[in-house]
Amino acid sequence: MARFTRSNDWGFPRWRGYGSERGATQVRMCDRHGCDRPGDCPAPKSPNSPERWYFCQEHAGEYNRGWDYFQGLSAEEAAAREAGERRDASGYASASQYGWGGPGDGTRSRDEMRALAVLELESDASFDEVKAAWRRLAKANHPDVKPGDADAADRFRAVQTAWDVLRQAEERRAA
């Protein structure tokens, strides 16, 4: 007498999803001592090493907060590595304007471009031009100059917000 075994794979279309088996699946546990959660977040054991730790999400965050990419390098070596990586990635930075097809040369974000439009400036305006336009529009729309004018107050708030966005972006570039 022939013995039949049950199969989940007969017929078309497949009756079950790919990768689902009847047996128990192997779950890798978190490599942090004492943790009993699944370790599904790989983290490098050392810089430029293929070996990995596997942590749960909480311990991966803890590990990444303390990660120092330049650990063990002198200041000169760290500066050289950073310069080399910036040089290697410069092609991506110069082509960033193609990402969303937005205006500009790719050096300014969409928020910065909106702020420049509020200040009535072109996309290639320098920071000195931004400062001059901000002062001009802030003086023209200030609530003390035009008391009781709600439209002027709204324009003043928009000009101030645009100034904050562009000033913070300039500070980030300078740092």
Does pTM top 0.85 for this prediction? no
What is the domain partition of the chain in residue ranges? Answer: 27-67, 73-101, 105-174
* Angle formed at CA 18 by CA 15 and CA 24, multiple of 5 degrees: 100
Contact of 155 with 170, CB cutoff 8 Å: no
pLDDT of residue 173: 86
Question: Which residue is associated with the tokens 């290697």?
Answer: 88
- pLDDT of 132: 95
- pLDDT (0 to 100) of residue 175: 79
- Picking from 151, 172, 170, 150, the residue whose alpha carbon sits closest to that of residue 162 is 170
Task: Walk along the chain (175 residues) and give the pLDDT tens digit of each residue.
Answer: 566 666 655 555 555 566 666 666 778 899 988 999 998 888 888 767 788 889 999 988 888 887 777 778 888 998 998 888 888 877 766 666 555 555 556 678 888 999 999 999 988 889 999 999 999 999 999 989 888 899 999 999 999 999 999 999 999 888 7
The CATH code that applies to domain 105-174 is 1.10.287.110
Look at residue 65 in the predicted model and tell me its pLDDT.
83
Residue type, 15: W
Residue 170 has phi, psi (to 5 degrees) of -65, -40
Query: How do 41-44 and 52-55 pair as beta strands?
Result: antiparallel
What pLDDT does residue 81 have? 86
pLDDT recorded at residue 157: 93
